[in-house]
Amino acid sequence: MAQEFSFDIVSKIDRQEVDNALNQAAKEIHQRYDFKGTGASIAWSGQDLIVMSANSEDRVKAVLDVLQTKLVKRGVSLKAIEAGEPRQSGKEVRIDARLKEGISSELAKKIAKLIRDEGPKGVRAQIQGDELRVASKSRDDLQTVIALVKGRDLEAALQFANYR
């Protein structure tokens, strides 16, 4: 009987790395000269929402840029953060950034269709909640599928887990 190999395609965020990046960004914003007197701040608001504020739109965009720089340095994909548009809130301008975790059902269907259409024959993709299980009798076919999915620019930060 032939052995079956599989792996999972997931979209998870290392919350500790995001928290560290946020703390580093807050420290830099507090210390930088160009942010003095602008009321610039960045903080968590709930479980997966980051709120940035300043007294002008260009300053709040600079705060977002500092956060994105810190996230990249810590190895967190920018696809895992969905930043909204700057909006006026009283005397300050705010940007809300939400963490995106898990694969949406339409993205999972899109990836499964990609694997079916362009992947090697005999590879099966099965949607399991907010992740995708890919199975085959050949490890080489699974490596080909990983390369295929990595080669596409999909709208989520994907990781490949439980390779067995």
Domain boundaries for CATH 3.30.70.860 within the chain: 5-12+103-161
Is the separation of the CB atoms in 114 and 147 below 8 Å? no
**pTM score, two decimals?**
0.83
In this structure, the number of other CB atoms found within 10 A of the CB of residue 37 comes to 8
The answer to whether 80 and 87 are in contact (CB under 8 A) is no
Residue-level pLDDT at 120: 86
Specify whether domain 5-12+103-161 bears CATH 3.30.70.860.
yes
Neighbours of 89 (CB within 10 A): 10
- β-bridge mates for residue 54, sequence order: 93
Residues 6+ apart with CB under 8 A from 17: 71, 74, 75, 76
What's the confidence (pLDDT) of residue 74?
93
**What pLDDT is stored for residue 20 in this prediction?**
95
Distance CA 61, CA 41 (A): 11
Strands (E), 59-123: 81-83, 87-89, 92-99
At the top level of CATH, which class does the domain 15-99 belong to? alpha beta
Nearest-angstrom CA–CA distance, 26 and 42? 6
- Distance between CA 52 and CA 134 in Å, rounded? 39
Q: Is 153 exposed, middle or buried (0-12, 13-18, 19+ CB in 10 A)?
A: exposed
Q: What is the pLDDT along the chain (164 residues), one digit of tens a residue?
A: 468 888 898 989 999 999 999 999 999 999 999 888 888 999 999 888 999 999 999 999 999 999 999 999 999 999 989 999 999 988 899 999 999 888 888 889 999 999 989 888 889 888 888 889 999 998 898 899 989 988 888 888 888 888 78
Within the chain, all domains assigned CATH 3.30.70.990 are found at 15-99
